Amino acid sequence: MRVLQGCVRYPPAPGGAETHVAALAEGLQQRGHDVAVHTTDLWSETPFTRREMPSQVNGVPVTRHRARSPGGEAHYVLAPGMVSAFLAAETDIVHTHSYGYFQNSTALLRRRLRETPWVITPHFHPTWSMWGGARRLGLRRVYDATVGRETLAAADAVVCVSRHESELLLAEVGCDPAKIRVIPNGIHWETWREPPTGARFRKAFPQLGERLVLYAGRLATNKGLPDLVTAAASFPEAELLLVGQDMGPGKALDAQAAAAGITLHRLGYLDDDIYRSAFGAAELLALPSDYEAFGIVLLEAAAAGLPVVATRVGGVPDAVAEGETGLLVEYGDPAALGTAIASLLSDATAAAALGAAGRERVARDFTWESIVGRIEALYAELR
């Protein structure tokens, strides 16, 4: 089967949706399908940063079209080169990712002209969680009521990564419920089959303290990181470790931590081996986001045998079995966040039990091998 995948960014550009698309592309290719990815040359969207990146990643051909944007509150990623590429492609399935992006409009145009089955995985975020002021919010609402709704209506299937995401999409934009399939995110179990140790990470960063509370992911305004810094007053025995690309709030977090006397280590983007080793060095993962469609990092923590403390938002309850693999608190409550983290730091037996249960659950239910199989079956159904 020939499969065209369209996305706004693709590895080595970092991000959860990017990891998702790459896992599908590589998994489908390994199953004998002919996969081609069309994306942009963006390394990051905020700030808007282009980079030269490879045209083949782990055997998957990747065409990176030049990205443009009007900027400001009218920011929208445009990639004009995608239009001719999508229209000319001889493919059996078109699968685009991330609601509200140019690749979906391009796929919509193709769908009007050619009868190729089309799948969208929206990685949907609610309107209230987006950055920008009133003008940008107004533009989003207009988009939802027009292009967004038309896009979802034209697609043959809509793949949501959690039940919550599907409910949110139906409520905010509208879609034929019969088109929706809930297929979660996953991890490459082979990569995590042996739980990571902290040795490589400790060698790379010997200055860090013995006890670490890890946050892994983009440093962005929707991740609730100021709450995590505030919560750190409840567990002075441990240091905060933030791993991931800074999308803007890094310096403000440094200043907040310094003013409160909190030890904060902000390490930026790490290569894969050291990134995994960070999970081996930490005692738990904290994810205090205001919204997550799912949260692949929660599965990574579980695979590493780390307990999780996260906010009870979006698709997080699908990724974390509350009380069994981690603890969930309400978003915007730093005191509750700090109490939950402190409770695990002070009870190694309970923390280990949560971590072990998480590792068992992810190996059973959330491997990319099984998830790619479900996507492959969906493609076959639509053809």
- Show the 3-state SS of 104-126: HHHHHHHHHHCCCCEEEECCCCC
Please give the pLDDT value at position 181.
97
CA distance 368 to 23: 7
pLDDT of residue 193: 93
Angstrom distance (rounded) from CA 328 to CA 350: 15
pLDDT of 128-167, one tens digit each?
Answer: 777 777 888 888 999 999 999 999 999 999 999 999 999 9
H helix runs in the chain, sequence order: 16-30, 81-88, 102-113, 134-143, 149-154, 163-172, 189-192, 199-204, 225-231, 250-260, 272-281, 296-303, 316-319, 334-345, 348-365, 368-382
Q: Which residues on neighbouring strands pair with residue 322, listed in sequence order?
A: 326
The reply to whether 2-186+367-382 and 189-365 are identical in fold is yes
Domain ranges of the chain: 2-186+367-382, 189-365
Residue owning tokens 């939950």: 340
In terms of DSSP bridges, do strands 34-40 and 2-6 run parallel, antiparallel, or are they unpaired? parallel
* Domain 189-365, second-level architecture: 3-Layer(aba) Sandwich (3.40)
CATH superfamily of 2-186+367-382: Glycogen Phosphorylase B; (3.40.50.2000)
Calculate the CA 4 to chain-centre distance: 21
Report the distance separating Cα 164 and Cα 149, nearest Å: 19
CA neighbor of 96 nearest in space, from 73, 113, 116: 116
pLDDT, tens only, 316-370: 999 999 999 999 999 999 999 999 999 999 999 999 999 999 999 999 999 999 9
Instruction: Tell me what pLDDT residue 134 has.
Output: 83
Confidence class of residue 16 from pLDDT cuts 50, 70 and 90?
confident
pLDDT digits (tens, 9 = 90+) for 255-312: 999 999 999 999 999 999 999 999 999 999 999 999 888 888 999 999 999 999 999 9
Residue 74, burial from CB neighbour count under 10 angstroms (0-12, 13-18, 19+): exposed
Condensed to tens digits (0 to 9), the pLDDT of residues 219-265 reads 988 899 999 999 999 999 999 999 998 988 999 999 999 999 999 99
Relative to beta strand 264-268, strand 157-160 is: unpaired
Q: How far is CA 92 from CA 114, 116, 117, 352, in A?
A: 11, 6, 7, 47
Q: Pick the closest to residue 306 from 361, 375, 261 (CA basis).
A: 361
Each residue's pLDDT tens digit, 187-219: 999 999 999 999 999 999 999 999 999 999 989
What was the pLDDT predicted at 219? 94
Under 8 Å between Cβ of 79 and 68? yes
How far is residue 124's CA from residue 340's CA, in Å, rounded to a whole number? 28
Q: Is the pLDDT higher at 375 or at 45?
A: 375
The tens digit of pLDDT for each residue in 67-122 reads: 999 988 889 999 999 999 999 999 999 999 999 999 999 999 999 999 999 999 99
Q: How far apart are CA 297 and CA 20, in angstroms?
A: 11
**Which pLDDT score, from 0 to 100, does residue 23 have?**
95
Question: Distance between terminal CA atoms of the chain?
Answer: 10
pTM of the model: 0.79
